[in-house]
Amino acid sequence: MQYFSFVYAGYKRILDHVTLGWFGRGMRFILFAMLTSCLSLGLQAETFFEQQLKLAKEGDAGSQGIVGIMYHDGREGAPKNPKIAAYWFGQAAKQGVDQAQFNLALYYNQGNGVAKNPKMAAYWFGQAAKQGNNDAQYNLGLMYAKGQGVPQDYKEAVKWYVKAAEQRHPFSQFTLGLMYNNGNGVPQDYKEAAKWYTKAAEQGVADAQNNLGLLYDNGRGVPQDHKEALKWYTKAAEQGQTDAQGNIGAMYFNGQGVLEDYITGYAWTIVAKANGHDAEHNLQLFKRKMTPEQIALAQALAKKIFQKIESKDSENPINVRYD
């Protein structure tokens, strides 16, 4: 019997980054190319800002959005000023620029440059979402799931998650998996949950990797396969996902998907606890079966694991050898 309780990762928080995706993501390149062109002519970056500001004042929607980004970041000669950024996001949003609508929604959601207003946040997320902006679709789904700015409605949340997930939005894929996992807004369906967790996990979402591992661990929606479970736990754990780190410890403790190994299991459990996982009970179970020498080896291995995770060296798997 496994000695740990399964913990599924929950909803991702609302995306909190203002982005440059004017008229599709290609505008990021266009902005860079325009700035590079100015610099190659010996012009100052401020000139580029002044040019964009002039166009913005003349009503050019794209320039209004770019100026908003400049004021948001404090770049290209513009002082960092959320209130002015919000103004220009608003001007571009009114002209139908979906990324400006998304950025303005973030500002209302956070109370950044404007008074915090969940209803206005939901409105502008909705305007961008209707234009196919997948970040906005995801965030609108979260608003409905949590009842923020709109009445709580899981079915409506699922509708928007699906739209974003079908555009390969990784957090939407994860959250859609969670909805099927828990039966929120849809009938509970572990097979469907596994499908969406897999899509998100393959895009590197650590919470999805952990949850997919749990499905394989328990044979829910997929054939039970402890080795496959360990594979996904490890991918998540190497990104710092604490539940996955604790789950790896349990796999080594129980000899599931891997040979029983108290030293490696204890090391991963140390890492999980240090990262905030409630693992004290599990550590005590390990200690009852380990010698002081084994505990010392595990502690040394835990340091190696910490260093590997902190280095974020994704090219090489974490070396769990302790000999």
Structure tokens at 55: 């166009």
pLDDT given for residue 48 in this prediction: 84
Residue 269: closest CA among 221, 292, 239, 301? 301
Please answer whether residues 38 and 45 qualify as being in contact, where contact means their C-beta atoms are separated by less than 8 angstroms. Answer: yes
- The per-residue pLDDT for 224 is 97
Which residues, at least 6 apart from 237, have a Cβ–Cβ distance to it below 8 Å?
244, 245, 247, 248, 268, 271, 309
Q: Is 94 exposed, middle or buried (0-12, 13-18, 19+ CB in 10 A)?
A: middle
Burial of 291 from C-beta contacts in 10 A (0-12 / 13-18 / 19+): exposed
Instruction: Specify the residue for token string 């906005």.
Output: 136
Quick check: 295 and 266 in contact, CB under 8 A? yes
d(CA 302, CA 307): 9
Q: With a cut of 70, which residues of the chain have pLDDT below it?
A: 1-47, 313-323
Distance from C-alpha of 40 to C-alpha of 28, rounded to nearest angstrom? 18
| pTM score | 0.83
Instruction: Return the residue matching tokens 């609508």.
Output: 101
Give me the numbers of helices (H) and strands (E) for the chain, helices first please.
16, 0
Residue pair 272/241 in contact by the 8 Å Cβ criterion: no
To the nearest 10°, the Cα dihedral for 2, 238, 269, 223? Answer: 0
Please report the DSSP string for 278-321 in residue order.
Answer: --HHHHHHHHTT--HHHHHHHHHHHHHHHHHHHHT-TTS-----
- Whether 27 and 13 have beta carbons less than 8 Å apart is answered as no
- Residue 76: the pLDDT is 84
3-state DSSP assignment of residue 20: coil
Contact indicator for 65, 99 with CB cutoff of 8 Å: yes
**pLDDT tens-digit map of 218-243:** 999 999 999 999 999 999 999 999 99
Q: In this predicted structure, what is the pLDDT of residue 77?
A: 86
Alpha-carbon span 237 to 244, nearest angstrom: 5
